[in-house]
Amino acid sequence: MSLLKQISPNLFKMSIRKLSDYEGFKKLADKSKNIVTLTGAGISAESGIPTFRGEGGLWRTYRASSLATPQAFLANPALVWEFYHYRRTVAFNAQPNAAHLALAKYEKICNEEGRRLTVITQNVDGLHRKAGSEKVIEIHGALQKVRCTKCKIVYENLNDPICEALRGRGDPAAQDKDLPIIDKKDLPKCKHCQGLLRPHIVWFGENLDHEVLTQARDLVESCDLCLVIGTSSVVYPAAMFAPLVAERGQPVAEFNLNDEPADETFQFHFPGKCATTLPKALALTV
């Protein structure tokens, strides 16, 4: 056993994982032909998007996860739409931060050099596309889109409010206000068949779109570099993507607030705010 390992096993592991090795990462990234980035709530939190996870994940007195279900929508579609009207308004008014912009800029560099960078995101806020990223797979859906509960069509709707009945509604602090209950007939309606619309979001208890999941899985299984950005890697199926890359012997770089890597097999780890660490790692000014 080497003297270094005897003195500090953790230090030895850190040297192998190349923690915060910006120069080494940049050289590797510039040689990679097919880069996949997995992004989660952490990257959008730096743009002011609430995460709705953990102990603080409340909207009014409701746990957000209890509203993001088919059962909640069936029981009280007006309440669920108030929650999503609030989320849409926040997302529509939010701006991409330096991490979003760096990914979009590096994607353009890759395109010019005959390489590929694809964003697979758990986020539904649309900030990657707003930043200019073109190859984006939104595995949990998007707040900018709606789905008809009757004819099942999916289309983009950027109206804010999405219907007149939701104007001025959704304020998280408004639970004590004496607001009238919104009638179901006044909720958002499909432009094609006038059926009741719902957010195009994959709710708890629902399956991910098979085609979207297959597309993401194919990219993960063929990439030669994976970036994990702003996610704790605990939400499936995204949680299994990066370990699959590492199992193939391909490098994984993690960017999040944690001091320690989520997985010992990840080659790079950059702790801190990804709006700072990611542009630095890609050597980009945004």
Encode burial over 75-99: b for 16+ CB neighbours within 10 A, e otherwise.
eebbbbbbbbbbbbbbbeebebbbb
How far is Cα 136 from Cα 154, in angstroms, rounded to an integer? Answer: 17
Based on its alpha-carbon atoms, the radius of gyration of the chain, rounded to whole angstroms, reads 21
59 annotated ligand-binding residue? yes
122 annotated ligand-binding residue? yes
Structure tokens of 129? 């596309």
66 annotated ligand-binding residue? no
233 annotated ligand-binding residue? no
The CA-atom distances, in angstroms, between 148 and each of 157, 190, 194 are: 12, 6, 8
51 annotated ligand-binding residue? yes
Task: Note whether 157 and 145 are within 8 A (CB).
Answer: yes
170 annotated ligand-binding residue? no
274 annotated ligand-binding residue? yes
62 annotated ligand-binding residue? no
To 5 degrees, how large is the angle CA 39–CA 41–CA 45?
Answer: 120
Task: Note whether 121 and 138 are within 8 A (CB).
Answer: yes
How far is Cα 99 from Cα 277, in angstroms, rounded to an integer? Answer: 8
58 annotated ligand-binding residue? yes
245 annotated ligand-binding residue? no
Identify whether 128 is a catalytic site residue. Answer: no
* Tally of CB atoms within 10 A around 183: 9
Query: Which amino acid, one-letter code, is at 19?
Result: L
For the chain, the straight-line distance linking the first and the last C-alpha, in angstroms and rounded, comes to 45
87 annotated ligand-binding residue? yes
231 annotated ligand-binding residue? yes
> Phi/psi of residue 256, each to 5°?
-160, 180
117 annotated ligand-binding residue? no
Structure tokens of 137? 């797979």
Antiparallel, parallel or unpaired: β 34-39 and 225-229 = parallel
222 annotated ligand-binding residue? no
205 annotated ligand-binding residue? no
Among 128, 140, 200, 269, the active-site one is 140
Annotated binding site for NAD(+): which residue ranges?
40-59, 122-125, 230-232, 256-258, 274
Annotated binding site: which residue ranges?
40-59, 84, 87, 122-125, 148, 151, 190, 193, 230-232, 256-258, 274
Annotated binding site for Zn(2+): which residue ranges?
148, 151, 190, 193
Annotated binding site for substrate: which residue ranges?
84, 87
Residues identified as active-site: 140
